[in-house]
Structure 1
Amino acid sequence: MTPGSGVLESGEHAEPDMSGATSGPVSRLVELHREGGLFNAIRGANDYVRDHTPIPVTLPLHRIVSTGTLSVGAVAVDIHITSDEDLWRAMGHGEDAVLDDFVGRVRPNDTVWDVGANIGSYSLLAAATGASVIAFEPGSSARQRLQRNAEGNGLSLSIRPVGLGLSDANGSAALSTEVRSGIRHISEAGEQVPVARGEDVDLPGADIIKIDVEGHERQVLDGLGDRLEACRCCYVEIHGGVSRDAVEKRLENAGLEVADEWGETRREAIVRADGGGA
């Protein structure tokens, strides 16, 4: 199976008989089914509907499937599906190459800080590799889904969800209200959540840090202090409106060297910076 591919479980679904299809969109569905099974065909149908309707239409795929299996190399974890966003994350959410790199660098007995953990795709993969994970997720709904996913994979003892946002100051902040939990961000209004500097939290330091905080990247990095300097590597997703140069400069000032990057075709860029122990 290719890195980041998803395999879906959907109760009782008979395999569709597509042997008579010969042309057009049905023929394409046959091809997709042969290449990747029912999951691949469902995804193709959704893309076709999106691209060939005059108004935005999305098939409610989360009502068709209940569990997605996110597979990266030899590591596989199940993600409970309650929304199309969950389904997208079970498919690797467009970060197949990053996930592959991440899993390849996590070592058994590592401590991983997942900052902006959301429903836990990175946390689950790290824990399944043998690491202990501290999953910072201030959003209550996403954190509950993360806990459910940890329990469903038998990883509750390896993943510690923390209802705290990391920043450059200690106190509280507003987390924006969004339909998709993955795009919630620190804003002027929203759910009040506690925030803290990473260097001030009473938690074990990290060997690997992953940061995905929807525009709050520099504040998180500024608050990490010597926790950043001590890590083996740090992944940062840099969102639109955030200076990539400033983020990379902050990493370099902590003694890390930007070693890889992804995002040539994405609105966001993801960089990995390695420390001396990489």
Structure 2
Amino acid sequence: MTMARTQLMVNGTDVVFCGPDDAYLNQLDDGSEAELRLFASELLSGGAVVLDLGANIGVTSTLIALDTPGSRVIAVEAGPATVDMLRDNLATNGISNVEVVHAAVSNSNGRVHFHESSAFGHVTDDPHAIDIESVTVASLVERLGLDRVDLIKIDVEGLEPDVIEGCSDILQRLQPIVWMELNTWTLLMRGHDPIAAMTAIVERFGEVHRVRRSGGPLLDRVGDDHTPAIEIARTLIHDNIVRHHSWEDLVLVPPGRTLDLSLSRPVAEDDTDLLQRTIATMQNSYSWKITTPLRVGARWWNTRRARAGDGSSSTST
């Protein structure tokens, strides 16, 4: 396995991540997880507990731990090699408020077979794959003695419905907000009927919100209190395929829990500092500097064309 290294700037601190040289690591930049970080910073307070299910090499856990120093983050990852990289990244960056659990999260406790492929491993029926422990969220909470869970992030390559099924007691008792990846393709690959799976998930929650990445409000509620769960599910799956290339994040609010309206305010207002840092990093990069002549030339050419257009129009009138 070829390894790679990338460095990010988080709240003025350099953070280093090492992992497989693949698309996941290579797409990381200073704006990584911007929406989740913004949401978590608004949602979490002192002593907050976060479950990062499908923690991968620890990017989300590290960023939340740095953004909310008083929080307790439980990073759960199934892949043995990935867990080693996760622990190494936490140690390298001096992160002390993240605990690592090596297990797959599902709807039952026991053992499962796991196929570890780069940074995108998954549970499989292949008997020759790695044998690892499987836990439910409910059993994990009991094992760790947690009396609160504020946020659960779920990214488990198509087994999200199984994870939700295994935490129904926690949803009722502790009422955590859930940040979940929706990927129709991975749901199909894990044998789920996407509409049926999403209908079952929607029925467990009071509100379902899309996470927007194109400006405007951060959260966009799908349906309302009177919309049937199957209609919300059909809308989600249709738009996930047609508009979002089978990949987007959802925020799920359990019954009886209210979401602070400030969490839905425009990203452009909330995320100004993060965007400015990202722009500054980009402008100081080598690629930005070597392409400066191209941008200057383009501005000169566009200005010349605009003036020529103004001149021709004034002559003809």
- TM-score interval w.r.t. the shorter chain? 0.5 to 0.7
TM-score relative to the length of structure 1: 0.66
Cα offset, 1:232, TM superposition? 3.3
Structure number with bigger Rg: 2
On the 8 A contact 2:157/2:186 being kept in 1, the answer is no
Distance 1:265 1:274, change over 3 A: same
Match of 2:179 among 235, 238, 247: 235
Q: How does 1:187-198 map to 2 (within 5 A)?
A: 187-189=124-126, 190-198=129-137
2:55 alignment partner in structure 1: 117
Distance 1:277 1:247 in 2: 24
Distance 1:250-1:231 versus aligned 2 partners, 3 A rule: farther
Deviations 1:238-261 (A, max 9, x none): 221525544543444334411233
Instruction: Tell which deviates more after alignment, 88-97 or 78-87.
Output: 88-97
Candidates 123, 134, 152, aligned match of 1:186: 123
Give the total of aligned pairs.
211
Length-normalised TM-score, structure 2: 0.59
Letter in 1 for 2:244: T
**2:204 equivalent in structure 1:** 254
The letter for the 2-side match of 1:220 is: V
Match of residue 83 from structure 1: 20
What is the Cα deviation at residue 96 of structure 1?
3.9
Q: Distance in 1 between matches of 2:74 and 2:158?
A: 21
SS in 2 for 1:267: coil
Q: What code does the residue aligned with 1:260 have?
A: R
Indicate if the aligned counterparts of 1:232 and 1:274 stay in contact, CA closer than 8 A: yes
Residue 274, structure 1, aligned to residue 253, structure 2: yes
Determine if contact 1:208/1:232 at 8 Å carries over to the other structure: yes
Over the aligned positions, Cα root-mean-square deviation in angstroms equals 2.7
Letter in 2 for 1:187: T
Alignment gaps of 5+ in structure 2: 188-192, 213-239, 260-317
The CA deviation at 1:77 is 6.1
Do residues 219 (structure 1) and 159 (structure 2) align? no
Which residues in structure 2 correspond to 1:1-278 (within 5 Å)? 62=4, 66-69=5-8, 71=10, 74=11, 78-85=15-22, 87-88=25-26, 90-91=28-29, 95-128=33-66, 129-130=68-69, 131-156=71-96, 158-178=97-117, 180-181=118-119, 183-189=120-126, 190-201=129-140, 202-203=143-144, 204=146, 205-229=148-172, 230-239=174-183, 240-242=185-187, 243=193, 245-262=195-212, 264-275=243-254, 276-278=257-259
State the distance in 1 between where 2:3 and 2:112 align: 34
Matches of 2:8 and 2:169, distance apart in 1: 36
* Rounded Cα–Cα distance in structure 1 between residues aligned with 2:159 and 2:136: 13
How far apart are the structure 2 equivalents of 1:206 and 1:70?
28
Q: Is the contact made by 2:114 and 2:121 (CA closer than 8 Å) also made in structure 1?
A: yes
Structure 1 residue 155: Cα displacement: 1.4
